[in-house]
Amino acid sequence: MKREYIDTLIVGAGVAGMNCALHLPGERQALVICKGGLKESDSFLAQGGICVLHDKGDEQSYFEDTMRAGHYENNPDTVRCMIRHSRETIDELIGYGVRFERTESGELAYTREGAHSRPRIVFHADCTGKEISSHLLYAVKKLPNVRLMPHTTMVDLLFDEGKTQCLGALVRDNRTGELTAVLAGNTVLATGGVGGLFRHSTNFRILTGDGVGVALEHGIAVDHPDYVQFHPTTLYTGRRGRSFLISESVRGEGAQLLNAAGERFVDELLPRDVVTAAIRREMRREGSKFVRLDLRTVAGGRETLLHHFPGIVERCREEGYDVLSEPIPVVPAQHYFMGGVRSDLSGRTTMPHLYAVGETCCNGVHGRNRLASNSLLEALIFARRAADDIAKGARAEGDAVIPAREYDKKQEKARHALVTKEVDREHE
């Protein structure tokens, strides 16, 4: 079997994996593997947007919205940490070239989704995830110390004999079947969610909770494997395959849920789990396979729909629905996993030298039910913190433990400035 030595192995190429790679020290070699293509992450599919602390006065209200949506089962420390780092994270994304919608005066425009007491979500039309992911991916591709290996599956984790620390992972090239033991100073699980395990999900089918699975197998702590979120509104088609999301931001902007009689039956902006339960109740009561979502009531009407939600308008048209003139059939589907590999504020798991970030981890930010548009933000912030932690206690190349060293922030800043400068539009 082949052996490879690397400082950091990152398993997963969504925004969590990418942001971790981007913040590792430039002189350390990193390898990012992912099971499918580089664009087959749920980060790429995210529609609605990404939350940000609107202004200083918003902190308590944003905190309260996140906690209330999560049934107060959230970890208040991770929630506060996420909120406090949100503005700098958005600024950093803008530095990478990410374009968020602006008002006429050039300020960031904010949209709203369920359970938010005010608009505090920045967005790029209805494809915010694609906009962010593609810019981060482009920036990572420019890094000389990071190698990307798509179509490569993590088969297992590697440990020392007493299973006291993680030493990397066994990986398989999906095309040749060849196995490689990647011996890594630190390993980061960023394998995304579990939607591939469900018949109806908005997730890519290949996302089958691999990080959580391998953790469970080796006795690494996993929290709340039952905390699965169902998005209230995906387009009903009756066909197999990935469910197409109808972003919650259409309801944030005024779209209404209707039953077969054309009547509203729920406040569309209640938390996701509450709206999903109401839809299911209504479907049971009516004996129907779906309810309807009327986008014609969106504020700004046709113009907003065409400008803010072009992807949704187009996809519905392909499925035979004209959202400008009729309600569309929608049904809840699996969307997000709030449980995961137990991790702390720096992404550390219960196994030394093993980190977990993004949807794979459970650091308690989301509690029992995630507040809309907190996912990209949480993934970016805690992945960066994991990278910072790795840098501080750096250990390199397989089982060789090296002493912690002074981490040079200036050098990292210079590297990011260089990458940012090089980001152009080639990749679009």
Q: Under the rule (CB under 6 A), what is the footprint of ligand SIN?
A: 46-48, 245, 247-249, 372-373, 375
Is the Cβ of residue 252 or residue 398 nearer to ligand SIN in the bound state? 252
Where do runs of H (alpha helix) occur along 55-163?
59-69, 76-84, 86-95, 128-141
- Dihedral angle at the C-alpha atoms of 125, 130, 135, 139, nearest 10 degrees? 170
Asked if residue 122 lies in contact with residue 108, where contact means CB atoms within 8 angstroms, the answer is yes
Partners of 10 in beta bridges: 32, 188
The rounded distance, in Å, linking the Cα atoms of 107 and 101 is 9
Q: Which is nearer to ligand SIN, 22 or 50 (CB)?
A: 50
CB of 197 to ligand SIN, least distance (A): 18
Instruction: Note if 272 is an active site residue.
Output: yes
Catalytic residue among 272, 368, 384, 415: 272
Q: Distances in Å between the alpha carbon of 116 and those of 228, 262, 376, 425? A: 20, 26, 16, 33
Closest residue to ligand SIN, Cβ-based?
48
Is the Cβ of residue 249 or residue 346 nearer to ligand SIN in the bound state? 249
Q: Which is nearer to ligand SIN, 46 or 419 (CB)?
A: 46
* CB closer to ligand SIN, 172 vs 251: 251
**H or E element: which one contains 412?**
helix 409-422
Alpha helices (H) along 287-366: 301-308, 310-318
Instruction: Report CA-CA distances (Å) from 274 to 68, 69, 428.
Output: 12, 9, 38
Could you tell me the two tokens for 144?
A: 């000389």
Q: Report the distance separating Cα 31 and Cα 304, nearest Å.
A: 42
Q: How far is the CB of 23 from ligand SIN (least distance, A)?
A: 23
The dihedral through the CA atoms of 371, 377, 379, 385 has a sign that is negative
> Is the backbone of residue 398 left (phi > 0), alpha (psi -120 to 50) or beta?
left
Assess contact for 37 and 337: CB atoms under 8 A: no
Nearer to ligand SIN, 20 or 275 (CB): 275
Q: Which residues are catalytic?
A: 272
